[in-house]
Each structure stands twice: as C-alpha cells, then as structure tokens.
Amino acid sequence: MFQVCQEYLKDTNMLFIGGLLMAIAIENWQLHKRIALRVLLITGVRPALLLMGFMIVTAFLSMWISNTATTAMMVPIGQAVLEQLQKSEAESSTAGQVSENINKAFELQEEATKPESSKETEKKDVGNSHVLTVEEDKKRNENLLDEKHKQFSKGMSLCICYSASIGGIATLTGTTPNLILQGQVADFRKNFGCAASASEKAKEQHAYNIIKEESNKLGSMKFPEIAVLILFVLLVLLWFTRDPGFIPGSKSNIRAPPALLDWKTVQQKMPWNIVFLLGGGFALAKGSEESGLSSWLGSKLTPLQQIPHPAIALLLCLLVAMFTECTSNVATTTLFLPILASMAEAICLNPLYVMLPCTLSASLAFMLPVATPPNAIVFSYGQLKVIDMAKAGFMLNILGVLTISLALNTWTSSLFQLQTFPSWANKTAVKRQAHSVEKDKPPTSKIIQLTAAIKLPKSAV
C-alpha cells in the first residue's frame, strides 16, 4: 500500500499540480483572453492571417494551460469573429446587388428608347439564353456566402482543436503524456496573406473592430493580471533553471494585496480526476514492472532487433497514433511506455529512442471527435462532420509521424545522444535481471533461516 501511495506523490505529480494552479490563476483573471485578443489585433483579420493568428495563440496558450481549457476559450472568440465577417459580407453583397439592379434599370430604359428593328434583332441574339431574375441572383449569392462561411468555419474549428493538441507537445506540463514520460524516465535513472480589394478591406475592418471592441472591454491591465503574468514568467524561467538556490526567503512588513488565488477557485477548477489518473498510471506502470509483465511483453518484441532502428521507431509511432484515436493519450502512454522500455533494453536500444517519439505520437489525436477533448468541443458546435475531421486528421497524423521521425533521426538524436545505450538503462536492465534470477532461485536459504528462528517445544523433541 505504501508503495502505491508513493506513486501518487511523485515529483512529476507535484509539477503537474503546480502547472495547473498557475493555469487556474491565468484563467481566473482572464489573462489568457487578453493575450489572445492582443495577438489577433496584431495579425489582422485576412482569412489566412486570421487562421494563423488563432493557431499561434491557441498553440502558445496550450503550452501552459490545458488543451481543453484553451479550446473552450478560443472557440467562442473564433465564432464571434466569423459571425461578424459573415454579417459584413452579407451587407456588402446586398449593396452590390442594389447597384446591379440600378444598372439593369438603366439598361431597360435605354432599350425602351431604341427603334423597333433593333429591339427585334437583340431579342433574336438573346434567343435561348438563361436570364436570372433578381430573386434568383439574391438567392444564389446567399447560398455562395453560406457555403463560404461554412467552409471557413470548418477550417477555423479544425485549426483551433489541432493547434491545442500540437501546442501541448512543446512543454513538459503542456500535456499529460509528457509528464508520464518524464516520470517513467526518472524512475529508470533512479533506478500568410495576399493583397485585398477595397470591399475585402471593409469586411476585414468590421472583423477587426469586433476584436478591438472585445479587447477594449477588458480595460487596462489590473494588478492581479500583472502579478499573475510576472509569476507566470518567473515560473517558466524557474522551470528552465531548476534548483537555483539563491532565494533564502525573508520576512516583510508590507501589507499584502488581495490573494491572486483562493482555495474555492482552485477546488472548482482543479481537474482532480486527471491528477489521480496520472498517479494511477504511475502505479500501474510500477505494478507492471514489479510483476515482470513489462519485461515479458518486451522480450516478446525482441524479433524487432532485425529491423533498422528508424523503421522500428516509425512503426511504433504509427501504432501509437492509431491507438490514441480510440483511447485517451494518458492511457496510451501508460500502457505502451513500460513495454517499450523493456523492449529497448532487451535489444540494447536507447529507451528514449522509442519512448520519446511514441509519447509525442500519443498527442496526435486528430481524426475522431472522441479522440481528445478539444476535438469534442469543436465538434459540439455542429459545424463539422466526422468525415471532415477524419479526412483532415488522417493527413495531419501522417505528417505528424513523419515530422517526429525526421526530428528523431536528426537533431534530437544528437541532442540526447540516442545512438548510444545509456548507463542508467544498463543498470536498470541488470537490476531487473538479478531480480528475475532471485525469483527463480529455490528458497532453500529462506527455509533454513525460518527453521532456525522457530523454537520447537520440548514435548515435540
């Protein structure tokens, strides 16, 4: 029981909780919304730049806040901007239709003043040509605008949910699989835009104004926002420079401002289920290791030794990317990482060479709405069909796996020295082998010790 409880209080769990507390403070004071609106004001509202702006903001926020919270915050902002764009396009289209009708009226008036002979000639020239009425023109334009808005909404929804999943890959606390990798590895060691016309500029200005209006509603930055921003930057710097050891702490007589975060807010917004899920994953991995299940499954994969190492990593990444479409990325990494570590040790391959790319591949859940919460959030708005997400997600999955494989066999291999078998993995393999041999030994010595400790009564002698 004590060993199980230890897995719930690992350094990785505390790091995860600290990151969640910072994310809750950022959400509580709406600092993330201010950052999002400010970046969108900088990028502009042309379709290509607007999509790029949303992708940059979503990916950046997802590095520090949970993917679900980031998506839930960005989708309403995107919907508001798209609705304003559609309204602006409808107004400009109506104005264009009115001017076109006026021109047609002038043409009819000119025809009335022409001689009869010329009128008959023109009627013959027109002949069987199809003439659209004003109502048909209006209906056709509305259908075109609706179709255009629908396609743009699909693109915006996919950009937001995919960027949230991709952004979480970048940092250790960005997504839970990264923390699972860090925790298990620690155990092993211990053990674009184009020129626009005037009408398009007017539409862009309308959309820009709605973003600016939302930004103005926030007003100037308040003290809690500034304080949270400073603490956030400081926290990121401390994450990069662990254990600084130069701040002993001191007493202060300055009156403290209102609390940036209270327990009531933390209790409401803290995803305790994820914290326990992370701890349960570590406990399950420890159980698999102690019972020998991971070693046994890893030994069954030793025939992969005949395959080149880049091909092994590519195949495993594809397997994990497909598996994570049907299960959560936490469950996928918890299940696969101990097995992959044992397999790598069995074939004398650096465990990180397969564990690192498979951890990143577990976040490539792009094809189905149930694959990850960001996908489910954007799907709930009713603008996407399953086939839309599947078609876009399939190509993105393939590109993601290829990108990870390219990075693994280029700069990542040199950065982490993945071509060599590390000493910490060798020690772990030796320890496991000794533990296995100890299990297989006949318990003769233990029986002798137990017999010696027993004092038989005199009547038995």
Residue 237 pLDDT: 78
252 domain-assigned:
no
In this prediction, residue 256 carries a pLDDT of 63
**Residue 213: inside a domain:** no
- Asked if residue 300 is part of any domain, the answer here is yes
Range of the domain at 291: 183-195+269-427
Residues 165 and 187 reside in one and the same domain: no
Same domain, 288 and 153: no
Domain assignment of residue 436, yes or no: no
CB 307 within 8 A of CB 354: no
Q: Rounded mean pLDDT of 225-231?
A: 85
- Tell me, yes or no, whether 287 and 409 share the same domain: yes
Same-domain pairing of 188 and 81: no
Rounded Cα distance, 268 and 271, in Å: 8
Same domain for 295 and 401: yes
Residue 119 in any domain: the answer is no
The whole-angstrom separation of Cα 339 and Cα 358 is 12
Mean pLDDT, the chain, integer: 74
222-246 average pLDDT score:
75
- Pair 319, 357 in one domain: yes
Whether residue 333 is contained in a domain is answered as yes
The CA distance from 383 to 414, in Å, is 44
Residue 219: left if φ>0, alpha if ψ -120 to 50, beta else—which one?
A: left
The reply to whether 33 and 149 lie within a common domain is yes
3-state secondary structure 187-217: HHHHCCCCCCCHHHHHHHHHHHHHHHHHHHH
> Is pLDDT of 294 > 80?
no
User: pLDDT tens across 146-172, in order?
Assistant: 788 888 888 888 999 999 899 988 887
153 and 291 both lie in a single domain: no
Residues 191 and 87 in one domain: no
Confidence band for 334, pLDDT divided at 50, 70 and 90: confident
Q: Report if pTM > 0.95.
A: no
264 pLDDT higher than 70: yes
Note whether 92 and 187 are same-domain residues: no
Would you say residue 448 has pLDDT above 80? no
Tokens of 440: 């297989």
> Where is 420: in which H helix or E strand?
none
Whether 6 is in a domain gets the answer: yes
In a domain? residue 280:
yes
Same domain, 376 and 406: yes
Q: Would the pLDDT of 405 be above 60?
A: yes
Lowest mean pLDDT among 270-279, 305-314, 415-424: 270-279
Q: Is 356 or 441 the better-scoring residue by pLDDT?
A: 356
Query: Do 12 and 150 sit in the same domain of this protein?
Result: yes
User: How many separate domains does the chain show?
Assistant: 2
Q: What is the pLDDT of residue 356?
A: 92
Determine the pLDDT at residue 354: 92
* Of the candidate ranges 35-49, 183-197, 391-405, the one whose mean pLDDT is the lowest: 183-197
**Which contacts of 429-434 are long-range, i.e. CB under 8 A and separated by 24 or more positions?**
429/345, 431/191, 432/289, 432/295, 432/342, 432/345
